[in-house]
Amino acid sequence: MKKGLVILLTLALIVGCLAAFTACSGEDYDLVVGAIYIGGKDETSGYTAAHANGIKKAIANLEKEGYKVKLEVVDKVDDTDYNAVAAACDTLVAKGSDIIFGISFGYLHAMNDKAAEYKDVLFSHATGYLSNDTNYNNYFGRIYQARYLSGIAAGLKSIELESDSIGYVAAWTTEYAETTSGINAFALGVQSVNPDATVYVKSIKSWGDTAKEQQAAQYLIDTYNCTVIAQHCDSAQPQIVAQENDVYGCGYNTDMTSDAPKAHLTAPIWNWHVYYQFAMEEALKDPATFVDAVGNYLGGLKEGFVDISPLSENCAPNTAKMIELARKEMVDGNWDVFHSAKLSFEAIQGEIAIKITPADLGTLYTPDPEKEDADPNPYVCKVEDDQVTKTPDYVITGTMNTFVAGVTDVDKM
Amino acid sequence: MDNLSLITNFLFFTVVYSIPLLYGTVGEILTEKSGSLNLGVEGTMAVGGIFGYLVGASADSLFLGMVFAFVFAALLGLLFSFLTVTMQANQNVTGLTITTFGTGLYFIVRQGVKEITPLLRLTKMKAAVNSLYIKGLSDIPIIGKVLFQQNILVYFGIFIALIVWAYLKFTKSGLRLRSIGENPAAADAVGININLYKYLHIITGSGIMGWGGFYMCILMSGDFAGSTTVINGYGWIAIALVIFVNWNTLTAVFGTFLFGLFRSLSIYNSGIAQAFPKVFGWLTAIPAQFYNMLPYAATALVIILASINKRKKTGEPAAIGLNYYREDR
């Protein structure tokens, strides 16, 4: 009797599940979007929130155009746990996802394997370097372009304050190409207006230690008399410290003017929805051509994928004008941050004009003497015959671990 | 910057950034002296901090913030006491639950806090924790700034540590409390109300921890963003510190600054190395992660040394972590 009851209940469960499945797939959607988040899906700030909001905004835009899009999410997926990521992919495929976005670096291998397993589902992975020719791509942005622009704002402010010391609170430094290129781009932006400036970098060797972010900013202000504090770390702490010390700063990720209204100049920001909408549109068009059409996406200012937040009232005069000129060069494709040329500004008949001069940025990659050259594609800048050579952009395929002149890592002085 | 002000700043900020440890440690010592091991320091600090901040900021009053930081943290202490003293639940598990619950609650509440913070930056509450200035004393080189220009909560923390030390050492209730921690059955036999004592001290201890969280919320944070709580491990270091200072709140004051020194070194190592290249030049060669590890390594070392030295009397309550149930005897 008991046994029979168990069997009956099990059957009922199975039937129930199946019914639930058919109910799911019963409704007709143009696109089912799957997303794997490292944080909680309802977080309101931070990395996961930025992506979640981007995906929601992209979906909302598509729905305005008349598409029916459904979002399926698996959140709090640890990016060091291969099996958890693989299981998340399985879950999302089972829920009928047409395209799956994974937002954390560590998802790359599991997604790569699952893309090979589920050939009719598209996989798209942020910040990684793996991809295939049929249904797996990666995406990231040229945030360094935005950092360059924020560097111009910082440099102009330093001139106004008659100071050559600018601070930079970094979570990490040369360990990652992302942080290195950000610091270099910011410093080059500063130098475009204040060639004598030094960018003092203090790294706290941790993401998300707000007390250390605060202390590091205070240290830079006290010890190196920094008058502008830029940052590549989690919270708005450095900006708040800048305000308390009556100096200025450039935030990151979000417009931090509300956090430090008297100090904040502008912040490099991401517009993740730009990519998500583009990717979803391509997936709607034809999944077969998705990888060809989207490729390994590296959007920049041109696509609107990265940008700077609106300039605050704290910015020096002419900041907007100069940033506009530099932005135009990048958007038009005439020049980019790590091309072997530097921007500078000059006044021609009272009008501000931009000048591009060839320059040697030096070798921005130093091989580790203890290892075999790990990276076959080091980033090297060359100046040949005084001509500006448009060096290929190695940000994704190559790497960068060396600072440009004018950057001082205070831990390595 | 000249070397003198570098050292002054280094020591000054060491104190500023280490005081929350003192609150956490003193609260935990008071709790542990009753024989209860509360591993929920991290969560208790988070809850006390965020709710204290919410109330204090809304009312723009440091006093109300302190009161409510204490009250909300104490509520978690009440929960811990109820579960472990009345319901006889396992103390380790309950403490860990309190941490998980407390940090979770922090994340739920913090968005509300974040929305009101921009308004609060320059308020009376913030002004109340500005550095003090004592004419004469504050002008002494180095010591003046380090010892006599701190904010009021630094002195309050040290004051609480002294009070708790005197309470445990010199008062009758302090003696009774210690006896409960050492041998609850004997204490019961002489007619001490064990449950009442445990409840009172666990709740008070948690309240003190809550002040530590409140301190971090007003002085070490400001935007409540990021992927971690503002407490970010201080609660755990406080538990390590309890062992390091041998359950003595007076020693805890110095232990706090020592642990704070380790932490501050990860920021100031380069500055000190440049100022004194011959003596401290090696500081920059040490990776930052090593400094973060030091408090735990030091604690491990103290545990080993204490276990080797059999003659020395340890301050560890003999009945710590064990629930007392009269009928068990």
For residue A155, how many C-alpha atoms fall within 13 Å in the half-sphere facing its CB? 29
pLDDT score at A395:
40
Residue matched to tokens 């301190």: B215
Cα–Cα distance, B24 to B56 (Å, whole number): 20
Cα–Cα distance, A263 to A166 (Å, whole number): 14
- In order along its 329 residues, chain B shows pLDDT tens digits of 688 889 999 999 999 999 999 999 999 999 999 999 999 999 999 999 999 988 888 888 899 999 999 999 999 999 999 999 999 999 999 999 999 999 999 988 887 777 766 555 557 888 888 888 888 888 888 888 899 999 999 999 999 999 999 999 999 999 999 999 999 999 999 999 999 999 999 999 999 999 999 999 988 876 777 667 888 889 999 999 999 999 999 999 999 999 999 889 988 988 898 888 888 888 888 888 888 888 888 888 888 887 787 666 788 899 999 999 888 75
Q: Quick one: A148 and A135 in the same domain?
A: no
**Domain region containing A148:** 143-267+309-412
All residues of chain B having their beta carbon less than 8 Å from the beta carbon of residue A46 are 225-227
Q: Quick one: A160 and A123 in the same domain?
A: no
> HEC profile for A183-210?
HHHHHHHHHHHCCCCEEEEEECCCCCCH
Q: Quick count: other Cβ atoms within 10 Å of Cβ A254?
A: 19
Task: Judge whether residue A234 has pLDDT over 80.
Answer: no
Q: What is the distance in angstroms between the Cα of B292 and the nearest Cα belonging to chain A?
A: 10
Cα–Cα distance, A344 to A189 (Å, whole number): 9
Residue contacts between A and B (CB atoms, under 8 Å): 108
Residue B275 at interface with chain A, using a CB cutoff of 8 Å = no
Residue A147 at interface with chain B, using a CB cutoff of 8 Å = no
Q: Quick one: A231 and A313 in the same domain?
A: yes
Confirm whether A35 is domain-assigned. Answer: yes
Residue A53 at interface with chain B, using a CB cutoff of 8 Å = no
Per-domain boundaries in chain B: 3-232
Could you report how far apart the first and last alpha carbons of chain B are, in Å? Answer: 66
B232:A214 CB<8 A: no
Residue B287 at interface with chain A, using a CB cutoff of 8 Å = yes
Average pLDDT, stretch A175-202?
A: 94
Confirm whether A48 is domain-assigned. Answer: yes
> What are the residues facing B329 on neighbouring strands?
none
pLDDT score at B263:
87
- The per-residue pLDDT for range B234-264, each reduced to its tens digit, is 999 999 999 999 999 999 999 999 999 988 9
Q: Quick one: A188 and A44 in the same domain?
A: no
Strongest mean pLDDT among A44-58, A268-282, A381-395: A268-282
Say which residue, B125 or A274, is predicted with more confidence: A274
Q: What is the identity of the amino acid at B114?
A: K
Q: What is the identity of the amino acid at B4?
A: L
Q: Quick one: A151 and A81 in the same domain?
A: no
Cα–Cα distance, A244 to A246 (Å, whole number): 6
Cα–Cα distance, B193 to A274 (Å, whole number): 66
Interface of A with B in 254-283 (CB under 8 A): 256, 258-261
> What are the residues facing A35 on neighbouring strands?
A73, A101
Residue A217 at interface with chain B, using a CB cutoff of 8 Å = no
Q: Quick one: A202 and A262 in the same domain?
A: yes
Q: Quick one: A120 and A164 in the same domain?
A: no
Write the CA distances from A285 to A135, A199, A282, B234, integer angstroms. 14, 47, 5, 52
Query: Which of B121, B226, B266 lies closest to A234 in CB terms?
Result: B226
Query: What ipTM does the predicted assembly reach?
Result: 0.86
Q: Quick one: A170 and A46 in the same domain?
A: no
Confirm whether A10 is domain-assigned. Answer: no
Residue A148 sits in a domain whose CATH number is 3.40.50.2300
All residues of chain B having their beta carbon less than 8 Å from the beta carbon of residue A222 are 1, 5-6, 9
Q: Quick one: A87 and A50 in the same domain?
A: yes
Number of structural domains in chain A = 2
**How does the average pLDDT of chain A come out, rounded?**
86
Residue A215 at interface with chain B, using a CB cutoff of 8 Å = yes
Instruction: Answer whether 0.80 is exceeded by the pTM.
Output: yes
Q: Quick one: A389 and A282 in the same domain?
A: no
Confirm whether A2 is domain-assigned. Answer: no
Beta strands A136-141 and A268-270 are unpaired
Q: Quick one: A251 and A381 in the same domain?
A: yes
Residue B156 at interface with chain A, using a CB cutoff of 8 Å = no
A204:B227 CB<8 A: no
Q: Quick one: A387 and A285 in the same domain?
A: no
Structure confidence at residue A36 as a pLDDT band (50, 70, 90)? very high
One-character DSSP codes across B96-121: HHHHHHHHHHHHHHHHHHHHHHHHHT
Residue B5 at interface with chain A, using a CB cutoff of 8 Å = yes
Interface of A with B in 87-146 (CB under 8 A): none
pLDDT score at A316:
95
Beta strands A341-348 and A407-409 are unpaired
Confirm whether A11 is domain-assigned. Answer: no
What distance lies between CA B228 and its chain's CA centroid? 18
Confirm whether A9 is domain-assigned. Answer: no
- The per-residue pLDDT for range B183-219, each reduced to its tens digit, is 999 999 999 999 999 999 999 999 999 999 999 998 8
